[in-house]
Structure 1
Amino acid sequence: MMNKKFKYPYLITAPGYIESSLGIQVMHRLCHLINQHGGEAYVVSSLTNPEWNTPQLTIEKYNEYKESGKVFIAIYPEIESGNPLEAPVCVRYMLNKEGVMNGNNIDAGEDDLFFFYRQEFAENEANANLLMISTYDLSVFCDDVAEKDLDLLYLNRVPRNAVDFSTLPENIKVLSMKQPLSLNELAKVLKRGRVMYSYESSGTCALAGLCGCPVVARVALGYEKYAITEHTSKDVGNADVAWDDSPQELERVKANLYKYKEFFEGLESVSNQQIFTFLDITQDKAQDFYDSNYKENVVRWVEQQTLSPERVALVSKNINELVSPQTIYVCIYDSSKSWHAVLTTLESLLPVNRMYSRLNCIVFTDEKYTLSKDFDSWVSLHETTKLSATIKDITIEQCFNWLQYVRAGVTFIADRFFSAMCYLNKVSEYSAIYPDKIFINDSDELESAFLPNFSIDYFLGYPHAFFVGCFFHQSIFRDNIFYNEVLPDSFDFDILIRVVTEKGNSSIGHFPEPLLISDSKKELNIDSSKIEQLVGRYLSEKGYVNSLILHNASGGCRIVYGHNKDLPKISIIVIDNGNVSLLQRCVMGVLEKSKYTHYEVLILSCYTEIEENRYWLEEVSKIDPNRIKVILSPYQESRARLNNIAANQASGDYLLLLDVAVFPVHDEWLENLVNHCLRDDVGCVGSKVINLNKKIYSAGMVLGLNGVGESPFLGSDYLAPGYMHRLAIEQNYSALPLLCLLVKRSVYQYVGGVDESLAEGYLADIDLSLKIRDAGYLSVWTPYSIVATDLSPEKNDRNNEACSEQERAIYHKWGDIIANDPAYNKNLSLTRDYRIEKYIRPRELSLEPQRLPRIMLFSGGCNPIEIYRLDEPFYKMRYNGMVEGAVASDSLVISDFLQTKPDVIITQNYIQSRKIIDFKSMKDCFSIYDMNYYESRNFDDSKNKKEYLNKIKENLASFDRVIVGAEALAEQYGRVHHDIQVLPTYLPHFWNDLALKGRGSDKPRVGCITLDLSDEDIELVSNVIRDFFHHVTWVFLGAYPPKLKPFIHEYHRYHGFTHYPQQLASLNLDFAIAPLADNHANRARSNIRLLEFGICGIPVICSDVLCYKGSLSVNAVKNRYKDWSSAMSQYIHDVDSARKVGAVLKSEVQENWMLNQKNLEIIKKIWLPR
């Protein structure tokens, strides 16, 4: 059983286990140690050590990880390139320097973790993580043989022909991987060794020392990189080696051989500490990946959506100035008899009350509390026994417009309450309104509860989701039925179901924003018998006196209606697709697995020319001619056409459209569909479709998901409850697929059947469902009718793909409901079902004095230029109430666009131009392309320049404006677009919050950020780096040419933009260099690197190129050695003066180059059409 702390598994790639390779042993041993310490690890290897706990990874286990989306950690030795296991988290275990063993480039990702077996392998890397794993058995490798009679030579990476054997003793014994020895055999040889010559640093040298055999270090011409050095000896506790084979040198080394044993005896405790550090770091990395990609980060989502105090104040002012603003009473039930819980709720409402005086509270409690002055003017205390009487009194006195009921301990999200007040002051058609909420789950984590618009079937099946935080209109309390004999424990549910019973489904509204945070265990703790009683009362009122209420495994209710009607005849329609085996399985499954027997089967076929099909159709029709009918068509017809033909010839009152690739898996599948379809308000009912691996193939359809629509929960376990139990509860969807759909024949005919002009099948399914909905009928999906298929689910991938004509037609016909599916929620993603949309969505504040300009950005949120130029300016403007809108990923679908209804769309990817054309065909909007680079080789090549410009012109034709970050770009592209604007790049305010350390090293620390530098840029200063090696400490963040490695003192890996600001600040630089070659590409750059250094107070020496010209206090030099050298010397000899320049630069950046209000106004002006 895996330790809960180490919950993410490890997959370790390694060659097959052999005792003659220390590196291979280490990889296998690491797997063993992870498992020994309570983790879960597998080796990807052909052979393992049977004495170690190293299970081999099976293809089944790997597929389980991949298909489930489970986060796992791959550990690759340095001989492995890339990420062959496609792991979410990669660890590089450096058992040698990169490329030494295989000559390969590791091709690591920027998020990869690095661990080094020895310090020498880390070279100049700063803050290197070490992981030294000993595989040596000191009882085997020990000096217990007195007679030393062998001279040894160790060869592995150095070939024999590189060794001058004339300089070695005669009859020397060669230890080579070509003739590998077992560990026991190797120990016996080493114990007899007088001396071992080695041309390379290796673990075998340490084993020789343990066995009392001194090692003589040699260097082979051309293989110097493998040689033993004084530095490598540090990795075995400074145990010495001989630098020649003179008797005096050998005696010196023999006297120190004891250090090997001391080192390896102490290594075990060091190794244990390092393995735990390794586990902590790698598990934290995997948890971060899970949190970013899978876990709902509800707190961050709420923070992103928060309104500024200024915007809240403006909205509050407008509400208070209404002719008759709504008065709201919040009733707080002290169910836990806790003043702390009551106070938590009241304090969360305090900022709302201070800005909106028409908010009042009643606390229903049996305890004696004293209210402080913060609350005594708007909060009153009443006994719980007087709940009904109190509500009656305030209704008669007309004290309120809306009453809300919550349990003490609930925390209101203040600015969401202001949004709710806007909503409540606008609507008048509802008797009750339920909000979205955030629950604290059993693990004390926050999880969203984002609900659909009112769904009667979902409500009856899982009422807990709806009643928490409900608002009730005062008009309903004029009727005694709404508060007589209502108990505090179930007040909100009782009132809500009475409203549904008396006023109907259309009287229930939905406020689609999370209004409060609540403990789900407390809020949902209503006795199941009480729920059964209230739901039963509703069913009786609706005439279902024989109904049954059953409870499912997920805690929800299942309704069996017990209809007082004759069971209708069902016409089951199956369309032959030419595959007779599928047809047999489908039809015979119906005949053999249907407890409901009042049906006929209509088989429509266009494949009579296939003898096997024709023969089987003839035979099956003989089984029961009254029940099984075969309809043959001489022509190839569409599925839609054949369904309509069958519907006209069917004799049943209900049609079951059954895909030929689908078959029943239990005998109640059909009667569970009929259970709902007999209801007067239902038009069609759909089944849960699973594949042969018991995974979800189809579970209803979410409109707008990954295009026009798609099934949610694809690939989930068929018994999983799903988000808010939506995979386990009967509910109403806006659209259902025709895989297994029961529909009233009269309704089918009324809406005109399936649209035969829609060749793309799933579009016809959606169109039929929406026509049924438009006719006033419900579509019900039930998880209790399960059918199966061996089809593979096909997720729509519409990224960078233009709409088809038929899709465009569906969008035009049904665009509003596709973009705002009432069975889904606007806060949930349209590219990842039932995940909170991590990108910004517009906030609806209907009482703002004027509609804010609405902007939609395409941004992946990972590229620093997108963050600087798009994301951060938008977030800041939105917070300040300057604009509204959305930030969406590059996988944006048209439904996102239709939902946001932007006035302006902005992207940095002109590949999106096809999407922009689609968008503008749906809704007119202003489109902007933010351009920040160009390909210099095309401008330098006069032959291709014209062709390149024409291509750019074509790509930009769909944009109304082009924004560039530099004048050089504006000049170059002025000929390809009619509206080009220059907009500088500004620094977000998170750069102001960095923790800067004091500088005080002996030599100046000089930094260079190479993240976006070319080899040409770095070559400009390569001689400067070399010549000033002894005068400064060179600190590089990012890669550099290998030839500079001897001169770089510290190398820091880039950990991604999220960590970059603090990473830069932590380098503690005295000054920095920013070299750029003077070429087209660099002239068009922004000065952002200077701004980053500047905000950290780091003085800069930079190339005197166009992009770095301006008013900033930097030392710009010509790209000549003497100028760079002179500037370096100046700063080295007067660091204090340099620091003063850095302080001036910081002040300039803070004053002119931050995203302050002045610069936001500049951005807004350029972003909006004139």
Structure 2
Amino acid sequence: MSMANSKLGTLQRLGFRLKRAVGLAEDSSIRYSRLLSRAKHLAVVLKTKGLRYAIAKILQKISQKLEVVAPPVEILPETHQSDDINYQQWLNNNYPRQADLRKMVETVDIFSYQPVISVIMPVFNPPESFLRAAIESVLEQVYPYWELCIADDGSTNSYVRPILEAYIEQDERIKVLWREENGHISVASNSALELATGEFVALLDHDDLLNPDALYEVALLLNRHPYADIIYSDEDKIQDDGKFKDPFFKPDWCPDSFLSRMYTAHLGTYRRSLVTEIGGFRVGYEGSQDYDLVLRLTEKTDNIFHIPKILYHWRSHTASTASNLESKSYATDAAQKALADALQRRGDSGKVIPVVCGYHIIRYEIKEFKKVSIIIPTKNLGNILDNCLQSIFGKTQYPNYEVLLIDNGSTEARTHEVIKKWQTKEPDRFRCELLDIPFNFSKINNYAVERSQGEYLLFLNNDTEVVTPDWLEAMVEQVQRPSIGAVGAMLLYPDNTIQHAGVVGGIGGVAGHSHKYYTSDSPGYFGQIQTINNYSAVTAACLMCRRNVFEEVGGFEEELTIAFNDVDFCFKIVEQGYRNIYLPHVVLYHYESKSRGYEDTVEKQTRFSREIKYMQNKWQKIIQYDPCYSLNLSNKTEDFSLRL
């Protein structure tokens, strides 16, 4: 029997390794996109290298993975548990052990700055075990300079008052204010704020948990950046069985992302004087009262910092927002109201449009319909070009634009026919100029800018097709804003999977496309696909910027003839203090590399390697740490999976 079990165990381990080798043991939410990515890559290899080579490479990959892939992840002592094997591995690698916590206690003694942090906790009838756990998570903090400010909002469950009274007796740092009637969370939070004496306040829900090092990490950041006014951390969720799931690893401060979703959330720590200055929490915004608070705080300060660590555990149970956003649909209504108020305060005319997952997008009012120059480099492939031009002239609603085609030496009769056709049909809006030089994307586009007329420049590939008729309006809405540099779109493959939804620095050694091969209607990583987001770069297959921004950064780098010139351009824009942005509601098809083809020759691969080296030498900092991404997410794949 033991021999049979041993054989069965061996077969199970081998089966698991084989599943991992071909990508079937991964989380189902990312499995499809990875398999599709590998299938499309295989199609390219088959086309360029042949069947025998492709089969050899597949067998080699499987063999390598069978040798190195370990069995399912074991749970290490002193580590939180998760049913997600990838998150369990991340926890094993990153969760603080007792030795780490003891070291933190010693470090606190040498902090030159030891601010008191007031933990604000409104309470109303939480489950008894959850209330105790929340309070215990504060008592277990390795940083001792805190006070827990509780406002009981007229709880009717008989166990609440005795529990709170017992904790008052246990630790003098715990304060409780007893409200005689229920005023809901905004009023109760303000009551708790009245108890606060600390220089900073941190927000804790009555059923959630702080990690033991949470306040220590906040104090550590404040010792490095004592002028910080707003601090937020990463977070995950805790299930009823005590296991952890859904880690949310966030970007650094991205103002436009924040206008689509309250991504900073927990753990949020704020300078108390600023919270007092803006009047605390506002009644009428319950469910998104913290979103409204932070929207107003960010109008008072730019000193906003992110701690890229899981410091907060959001309780996921039947009645919680963490478990079911629909259970608090009023929260999304309050968020929409808070965003509309923010626009009005800031003097921005626009509409707040609800989208999936309770998030929103802002559609700004166009102040002036300035001319847009749509710049399209092209060579041959007349039907592809004709499809692109037909979609522009047939669908575009924006009233003031020109199309400037740069013919890079077309030799096919069909292409010349297409050009003549559009010169005849659109004589006022279509121009074509010949630039018959060896292909250099940067040089062609720089040349085109010199001959364009528009205040706004739109760089567009000839193998694209417009889907959304208001595409130019949506891009102009954003590019007219002084803070915005480059504006990008959602680009789809013909099968409606994503080709581009923003560019992340560092993936694959230089940069990669966010959520590549996901379906176009997928929410992505915590709604990332369907919301407006700041990215360090967007692809120039469809990129809009102001002329003055283009000139300020010196246009496209002509040393980068084909690859990464758009990424380099966007990084230069970020370096000048502008923000780049991705718009999910601007959709085009992109029949990728139809004109140029793939990197399938020795000459092309040599050039590609040279361009990679150029980027890595010039942009090492942003490639190693993209502030619009997370160090805890993969730098190898484009699916926002964990970095393990």
Question: In the alignment, what sits opposite 1:449?
Answer: 248
Question: In the alignment, what sits opposite 2:507?
Answer: 705
How much does 1:481 deviate? 3.0
Aligned AA for 1:425? N
Question: In the alignment, what sits opposite 2:417?
Answer: 615
Cα distance between partner residues in 1 of 2:290 and 2:552: 39
Question: In the alignment, what sits opposite 1:764?
Answer: 565
Question: In the alignment, what sits opposite 1:674?
Answer: 476
Cα 1:796–1:388 change in 2 (3 A) is: farther
Q: Does 2:348 align with 1:561?
A: no
Q: Which runs of 4+ in 1 moved over 6 A?
A: 108-112, 441-445, 792-797, 800-803
How much does 1:790 deviate? 2.5
Question: In the alignment, what sits opposite 1:379?
Answer: 174
Cα 1:65–1:342 change in 2 (3 A) is: closer
Conservation of the 8 A alpha-carbon contact between 1:512 and 1:826: yes
Question: In the alignment, what sits opposite 1:22?
Answer: none
Conservation of the 8 A alpha-carbon contact between 1:704 and 1:818: yes
Mapping of residues 837-856 of structure 1, within 5 Å:
837-839=642-644
3-state DSSP class of the match of 2:101? helix
Question: In the alignment, what sits opposite 1:344?
Answer: 133
Conservation of the 8 A alpha-carbon contact between 1:331 and 1:406: yes
Residue of 383, 403, 407 corresponding to 1:605: 407
Cα distance between partner residues in 1 of 2:511 and 2:131: 44
Cα deviation, 1:388-426, whole Å, max 9, x if unaligned, reads 2552453xxxx2122111211212221354333322332
Question: In the alignment, what sits opposite 2:143?
Answer: 356
Q: Does 2:260 align with 1:461?
A: yes
Conservation of the 8 A alpha-carbon contact between 2:151 and 2:192: no
Cα distance between partner residues in 1 of 2:599 and 2:150: 51
Aligned AA for 2:110? E
How much does 1:374 deviate? 8.0
Residue of 472, 488, 501 corresponding to 2:299: 501
How much does 1:507 deviate? 2.8
How much does 1:500 deviate? 1.5
Percent identity over the alignment is: 21
3-state DSSP class of the match of 1:332? strand
Conservation of the 8 A alpha-carbon contact between 2:118 and 2:198: yes
Q: Does 2:308 align with 1:512?
A: yes
How much does 1:629 deviate? 0.6
Question: In the alignment, what sits opposite 2:343?
Answer: 539
Conservation of the 8 A alpha-carbon contact between 2:84 and 2:245: no
3-state DSSP class of the match of 2:321? helix
Mapping of residues 1077-1156 of structure 1, within 5 Å:
none
How much does 1:428 deviate? 2.3
Cα 1:349–1:445 change in 2 (3 A) is: closer
How much does 1:615 deviate? 3.5
Conservation of the 8 A alpha-carbon contact between 1:574 and 1:659: yes
Cα distance between partner residues in 1 of 2:512 and 2:572: 18
Q: Does 2:100 align with 1:311?
A: yes
Question: In the alignment, what sits opposite 2:575?
Answer: 774
Alpha-carbon RMSD: 3.7
Cα deviation, 1:40-85, whole Å, max 9, x if unaligned, reads xxxxxxxxxxxxxxxxxxxxxxx99952889xxxxxxxxxxxx99x
Cα deviation, 1:548-588, whole Å, max 9, x if unaligned, reads 1111133210211123x121111000101222122111111
Cα distance between partner residues in 2 of 1:64 and 1:405: 37
Question: In the alignment, what sits opposite 1:67?
Answer: 36
Cα distance between partner residues in 1 of 2:598 and 2:236: 29
Cα 1:408–1:595 change in 2 (3 A) is: same
Conservation of the 8 A alpha-carbon contact between 2:168 and 2:175: no
Higher mean C-alpha displacement, 311-320 vs 484-493: 484-493
Q: Does 2:260 align with 1:429?
A: no
Question: In the alignment, what sits opposite 1:790?
Answer: 591
Conservation of the 8 A alpha-carbon contact between 1:486 and 1:494: no
Cα 1:514–1:338 change in 2 (3 A) is: same
Conservation of the 8 A alpha-carbon contact between 2:233 and 2:307: yes
Aligned AA for 1:618? K
Cα distance between partner residues in 1 of 2:285 and 2:408: 64
Please give the TM-score of this superposition, normalised by the length of structure 1: 0.44
Cα 1:487–1:653 change in 2 (3 A) is: closer
Cα distance between partner residues in 2 of 1:809 and 1:792: 22
Conservation of the 8 A alpha-carbon contact between 1:573 and 1:657: yes
Residue of 321, 335, 338 corresponding to 2:110: 321
Cα distance between partner residues in 2 of 1:591 and 1:406: 54
3-state DSSP class of the match of 1:808? helix
Question: In the alignment, what sits opposite 2:528?
Answer: 726
How much does 1:445 deviate? 6.2
Mapping of residues 296-307 of structure 1, within 5 Å:
297-307=86-96
Listed as ranges, the gaps of 5+ residues in structure 1 are 1-62, 71-82, 91-107, 113-283, 286-293, 840-1170
How much does 1:748 deviate? 0.7
Cα distance between partner residues in 1 of 2:357 and 2:167: 43
How much does 1:451 deviate? 0.7
Cα distance between partner residues in 2 of 1:513 and 1:634: 53
Cα 1:485–1:500 change in 2 (3 A) is: same
Listed as ranges, the gaps of 5+ residues in structure 2 are 1-31, 40-54, 73-82, 156-160, 180-186
Conservation of the 8 A alpha-carbon contact between 2:401 and 2:429: yes
Conservation of the 8 A alpha-carbon contact between 1:316 and 1:356: yes
Mapping of residues 34-183 of structure 1, within 5 Å:
66-67=35-36
3-state DSSP class of the match of 1:371? helix
Cα distance between partner residues in 1 of 2:133 and 2:410: 73
3-state DSSP class of the match of 1:533? helix
How much does 1:796 deviate? 11
Cα distance between partner residues in 2 of 1:67 and 1:612: 34
Q: Does 2:618 align with 1:813?
A: yes
3-state DSSP class of the match of 1:772? helix
Q: Does 2:332 align with 1:528?
A: yes
How much does 1:482 deviate? 3.6
Residue of 396, 399, 405 corresponding to 1:594: 396
Residue of 813, 816, 831 corresponding to 2:636: 831
Cα 1:671–1:413 change in 2 (3 A) is: same
Cα distance between partner residues in 2 of 1:678 and 1:296: 45
3-state DSSP class of the match of 2:176? strand
How much does 1:743 deviate? 1.0
How much does 1:452 deviate? 0.7
3-state DSSP class of the match of 2:557? coil
How much does 1:320 deviate? 2.7
Aligned AA for 1:356? Y
Higher RCO (CA-CA < 8 Å; seq separation 6+): 2
3-state DSSP class of the match of 2:213? helix
Conservation of the 8 A alpha-carbon contact between 2:120 and 2:189: no
Mapping of residues 245-264 of structure 1, within 5 Å:
none
User: How many matched pairs?
Assistant: 559
Cα 1:748–1:414 change in 2 (3 A) is: same
Conservation of the 8 A alpha-carbon contact between 1:536 and 1:549: yes
Cα 1:480–1:830 change in 2 (3 A) is: closer
Question: In the alignment, what sits opposite 2:199?
Answer: 401
How much does 1:319 deviate? 1.6
Cα distance between partner residues in 2 of 1:692 and 1:830: 27
3-state DSSP class of the match of 2:166? coil
Cα 1:475–1:373 change in 2 (3 A) is: closer
Cα distance between partner residues in 1 of 2:431 and 2:115: 63
Question: In the alignment, what sits opposite 2:446?
Answer: 644
Conservation of the 8 A alpha-carbon contact between 1:654 and 1:743: yes
Residue of 418, 425, 432 corresponding to 1:630: 432
Cα 1:414–1:629 change in 2 (3 A) is: same
Conservation of the 8 A alpha-carbon contact between 1:735 and 1:766: yes
Bigger Cα Rg: 1
Please give the TM-score of this superposition, normalised by the length of structure 2: 0.79
3-state DSSP class of the match of 2:204? strand
Cα 1:376–1:532 change in 2 (3 A) is: same
3-state DSSP class of the match of 2:347? coil
